[in-house]
Structure 1
């Protein structure tokens, strides 16, 4: 029973990542971007799960043998590398030479990975604050930049 309660406690990070990543995904979905609600939730929750699993490995196995080493920084780096690979798939060049498209979507995938990792570490205030900053960047700041250029929301997405 204790192990079930422990796992339920660990699920808090995944649920928080689900909600916060979902907010960012909802914003992307509402703008009809290539990566929307489900993609952002999957990336955010997966990042949180990798952190929870890594932390659990350290907690459960590091004490058993001094020769076993765990690198939590390596887990962070692996998540960033994996998400960057996904982000690269979201970026494409216009055939008309108008430049790259999908940069903001790729950046938002990296952002939800960071939020997910933060939730996996149970740093919920930090994760919520970062999510709010991301939403301001994607929403009002994007509208402001579009109005400044006189063309509506930016098309770099």
Structure 2
């Protein structure tokens, strides 16, 4: 049997150690993600770490270090696709970037374990956990700091509510008014509302805006006939 001819106890033991290390460290990373109810939790991070470990370990046993390097490059690419699957866009907000980055790091931990770089795998796990836990107080402190909105980058939207029948004309008015105020429009989203109304939401090209200038535009839009309501919103930019 081919299995008996190629089986080597020491090589097998080496693979067992690598997989156990990847499993334990992937569990440590995944447990933190599971506790915080993230999209990719315990099982996902464990499977990513173990899978990356086995691919690299298999590459080393079949083709040596050069083969392992090529496999690692493909693991990085493959995890990029997996990470893209957990990133979600909700309006102008993007969620899941941290989860995708954590999956990427779990794959790196598994690859280290597969390459028998156990110390590096443990060290990387410590840094991943530190980044996901110890940095939270710093993030909270930074979020509480007063900031000049004109000096920070964000995504700005201007919205108006109009009768559905007047939406095409209102869209032209909205774009023209924003252009006149030097707020070029990147995109306009049309949303159907109750009672025969339509909301038009214009995403601005500008990422740094003085709130009082937008307030002036909103005040002018509210005075225009056919516009039932107007407002602007700001969301953080990644």
TM-score range, shorter chain: 0.7 to 0.9
Partner of 2:125: 131
Which is higher, the Rg of structure 1 or of structure 2? 2
Candidates 81, 87, 98, aligned match of 2:83: 87
Query: Larger % of helix: which?
Result: 1
Contact 2:48/2:107, CA 8 A, preserved across alignment: yes
SS at match of 1:126: helix
Partner of 1:110: 104
Cα displacement (A) at 1:149: 1.0
SS at match of 2:52: helix
d(CA) in 1 for partners of 2:123 and 2:85? 28
RMSD value over aligned CA atoms? 2.2
Query: Larger % of strand: which?
Result: 2
Cα displacement (A) at 1:143: 3.1
**1:11 aligned onto 2:16:** yes
Query: Highest relative contact order (Cα 8 Å, sep 6+), 1 or 2?
Result: 1
Give every structure 1 segment of 4 or more consecutive aligned residues whose post-TM-superposition deviation is greater than 4 Å.
none
TM-score by length of 1: 0.82
Structure 2: gaps spanning 5 or more residues: 145-238
Aligned pair count reads 141
